[in-house]
Each structure stands twice: as structure tokens, then as C-alpha cells.
Amino acid sequence: MKILVAVDSFKGSLSSLDAGRAIASGLLEVFPSWDIRVLPVADGGEGTAAVAQFLGGKIIPAECQDIYGRLHAGYWVLWNDTAIIEVAVASGFVTPDKRLRDGDATTSYGTGQLIRQALSHPDVSRVIVALGGSGSTDGGMGLMAALDCDFFDQDHNPVKPLGRYLGRVMEARIQPITKPLIGLTDVNVPLTGTNGAVMMFGPQKGVPSQRLNSLDQDMAHFAQIVQGPNHHWDDIPGAGSAGGMGFAILALGGILQSGAEVVANWVSLDEWINWADWIITGEGKLDSQTLQGKLVNIVTERSHLQNKPVVAIVGSRAGRVEDLYKKGVRLIYPIVPGPLSLDEAMTNARCYMRDAAIHVGFTLEQCHP
């Protein structure tokens, strides 16, 4: 039997390749004759640069700031003539136990620094920014500020690029990027509103509950100042990605694309699906966001077009995901064997992944004609 393994990274525990290899190890332990191919994939978040590196890209070290303005050893990947930048490198998500300030006191400035350095590299003709995994909620003001954009208050004083100061901006001077700029999104959310950057993701990034409505209003105000009356970038799906960095990329003259779709094309996913009898995909948490452009959804849709069955091996499952079954998923298998702490689950993720693959393997063997 021919099995394609294309799973997303499990945040904080396993890269896409590591997770895929753990699955392959479990399958081959019980079915050593099976032909298994592990494909590194990503959805426009963490792991996107690693896929480019796997395909021949080179890591370029670069100093930048984190979401609190501290100096940070970052990097980007040079792949042919393209710079691949992950916002998670400079402006990445910070767990509650390591946060220094509330989520509205963060900045995306460091990601702008990486973009600036990549643009100055002689071999770079375009820049791709993977927008998943961010920890900032500043409407992308920090990113733009690092790229020579200026923001002023009513007294014409410069405004510090933090989320909590979005409402102070009364004038914006935007400098469009001269090279192609592409943002890869992993969620199709607008900038503001019920399903926007603040209301959807602010709580998990440390924005106080009593600040959500006012910060969302401040971000809407900021968007109107930046885009003026002739543009509506804030309504474009993906503008709310990375705390508003999707909006910033649009304001700088860039475009947004589905990260999972783009990476799938990089690795020739359709050709590998055609080769396989079964496809195994997965991610750390399967929930309602999975259906909004996440990797599992893209792999499932592309497999369905070729009438190929799919199994999803996941860290956990939450909410209703019936649409995945309608698209051809035959089994959703959470790897956690029982009640345990998050730390334990992440520490032993490789072992749990391998054990889950063994059980999945027996299921596939019974289903295969």
C-alpha cells in the first residue's frame, strides 16, 4: 500500500517533518512492506520557512525585535530569488506564563525589520511573509513603521507603533514596497468586527476582555486613516491575519494568498496525492478554524478531487467538524491516549504520534481492498 503523509507542524513539539516521520515509523513497524512518503507542509504559519529550506532554501541570520521591543536573533530563508519570512520568528506568539505586558502593548516592528533586511539583499526579487503564529495585535503598524511609514497624532507627534496607540493615529504616510510582497494567510478573517483580528484572536494573545471592544474600534479607526476613502483593504479576507499584518501588507501594495494552497503547490501535493492509496494529514488542534484555509482542509479538498481517502491524526479535536467527513475524511484520530497535562502531551508527542499511527495502520489495512 502507498501512503502519503502530509501533516502540519504541532506547535511547540514537532515540526512537519518530525511529525510525519513519527507516523511513518509507526506504520512501518507493523506494515514494513508499505511504501510511505513523508512530505513537509505548512499552512502559512510556523514551518513555512522550513519547507522552503527543505526545497533548497538557505537560512539568513538577521537581528530583529520581538513583540516587546527586545533584541532577538531572527532569520529568514532565501530560496532562489525569494525571501521567506515567518512572522512567528520575530513577532511570535508568547504563552501566558512568559508574557511581559498585555496583548495591546505589542508590536509587529520586528517582522518589518526582517522584511526590510530581505528587501535590501541583492538576490531577492520578491518577499513572501507567512502570517501564522503571531503574538502581536497592532494592525500591522509596527511592520509598516519598520519600512519607513510614519504615523502622527493630532498634534503631529509621532505615534509609537503599539496596538494600544492605534486610536491616536490621525495621519499616516505610507511608503509602498517596490518589490512584490505576498502575505500567506492561514485564516480568512477581516481586520475588524466579530470575526476580526481583535475579537477572534485578541483573548489568546493576552488582550484584556474589557479592552477588546475599544481596541477593535481603534483598529477600525486606524484602518480608515491608512487606507483613506478609496480603499477597503480592511474587509479583504486575511486582512486580520497576524493581528492585522495582513492589512499592512495590502496597504504596502502587496497581496494575500492562502498559505496552505501556496505551500501545497511548492511540494507538488496533487502529484503525490495521485500516487497514494491513502493520505494521512493532521495538525495540533482540529477545530472550526480548520475549515478556514488550514492545511488539513486543503489536503482533504485536494484529495477529494481525486477520490482519495484521508485520515487526520491530530493532537486534539474541538467543536463540530462534520464538513471534513463530507469532503472525504474517513477517520479523525486524536493522539492523546487519556487525560494528561498539556506539557506531558507536548513532551511525549512523538511517542503518541507513533502509537496513533500503529492503530491507524491496522484500520487502513482492513479498509484496503
Please name the fold of domain 2-41+284-367: Rossmann fold (3.40.50)
Please name the fold of domain 48-259: Glycerate kinase, domain 2 (3.90.1510)
- Hey, do 2-41+284-367 and 48-259 end up sharing a CATH topology, with the first three levels equal? no
Residue extents of the structural domains in the chain: 2-41+284-367, 48-259
The per-residue pLDDT for 345 is 66
Q: Using 50, 70 and 90 to split pLDDT, how confident is the model at 339? A: low
**By three-state DSSP, how is residue 190 classified?**
coil
| Alpha carbon distance 148, 77 (integer Å) | 23
| Alpha carbon distance 142, 84 (integer Å) | 19
Residue 162 contacts residue 144 (beta carbons within 8 Å):
no
- The overall longest dimension of the chain from CA atoms, in Å, is 74
Its sign, for the CA torsion 234, 239, 240, 243, is negative
Look at 322 and 269; give whichever has higher pLDDT. 269
Of 27-31, 317-321, 353-357, the least confident: 317-321
Of 8-17, 144-153, 249-258, the least confident: 8-17
Cell of 29: 513497524
Residues 25-60: tens digit of each pLDDT: 999 999 999 999 999 999 998 899 999 999 999 999
DSSP symbol at 137? -
The per-residue pLDDT for 1 is 93
Residues 155-190: tens digit of each pLDDT: 999 999 999 999 999 999 999 998 999 999 988 899
The per-residue pLDDT for 103 is 86
Look at 342 and 171; give whichever has higher pLDDT. 171
| Alpha carbon distance 197, 87 (integer Å) | 15
Q: Write the CB contacts of 227 (distance below 8 Å, at least 6 apart in sequence).
A: 233, 234, 251
pLDDT at 6 over 60: yes
Cell of 50: 522550513
Residue 320 contacts residue 290 (beta carbons within 8 Å):
no
Q: Per DSSP, what are the bridge partners of residue 280?
A: 5, 311
pLDDT at 369 over 60: no
| Alpha carbon distance 141, 244 (integer Å) | 8
Q: What sections of the chain are H helices per DSSP? A: 16-30, 48-54, 87-91, 109-119, 141-145, 197-201, 212-227, 245-251, 259-266, 269-275, 295-305, 322-326, 342-347, 349-367
Query: Between the CA of residue 70 and those of 64, 165, 269, 318, 321, what are the distances in Å?
Result: 8, 19, 39, 35, 40
The per-residue pLDDT for 340 is 66
pTM above threshold 0.85: yes
The per-residue pLDDT for 294 is 83
Of 30-39, 150-159, 334-343, the least confident: 334-343
